[in-house]
Amino acid sequence: MFIIETERLRLREYTLEDAPFTLALMNSEQWIRNIGDRKITSVEIAREYIEKSYLPSYTVNGHGAYVVIQKETGTIIGACGLYKRPNLEHPDVGFAFLPEYLGKGYGYESANAVMKYAKSTLNLTTILGITIEENTASRKLLEKLGLQQIDTIKMEGDDTELLLYSTQV
């Protein structure tokens, strides 16, 4: 079942069958450089990660990470969604795409649709965004979505300083 549809994309909840895609995405150079190495080294570990980190959010929070599917081909090209982190008061919008789909507007198209979904369907009033300072593409996308940098933070158990963005959706 698709949660969100745009002109070129469909977004749906993750399933355990998305493990091969998750393995590829989380081992892409961009993911490791900008998000971090999650030590996803096999399809089985990717399946366990989905089961532990993504699936519970749909029930607990009413939203979560979604796979992004290209309508024209039916290919999973990335991930975009709302993530509720333990140390953040509000959910943050997150996005990542396989390298061959970067620079084609899919990030903005999917994240903008997620922001609209957050407002109209989930009735959320504040959405956050987080990224490392060096990730210029994500910073520009967050700003294009209407978020503004409000602070810097560190996530629990990680010394990396992140830029914290916020907006009223």
- pTM (2 decimals)? 0.94
Q: Is residue 155 part of a domain?
A: no
CATH code of the domain containing 68: 3.40.630.30
pLDDT band of residue 156 (cuts 50, 70, 90) is confident
Q: Is residue 148 part of a domain?
A: no
Q: Is residue 63 part of a domain?
A: yes
Q: How many domains does the chain have?
A: 1
Helix/strand/coil for 154: strand
Q: Is residue 19 part of a domain?
A: yes
Q: Which residue has the tokens 């919008």?
A: 93
Q: Is residue 54 part of a domain?
A: yes
Q: Is residue 89 part of a domain?
A: yes
- Whether residue 7 is predicted with pLDDT greater than 60 in this model: the reply is yes
Q: Is residue 83 part of a domain?
A: yes
What single string gives the DSSP state of each residue in 97-124?
Answer: E-GGGTTSSHHHHHHHHHHHHHHHTS--
Domain that holds residue 9: 2-124
% of the chain with per-residue pLDDT over 90: 92
Q: Is residue 163 part of a domain?
A: no
- Look at residue 122 in the predicted model and tell me its pLDDT: 96
Q: Which of 56, 53, 72, 50 is nearest to 6 (CA)?
A: 72
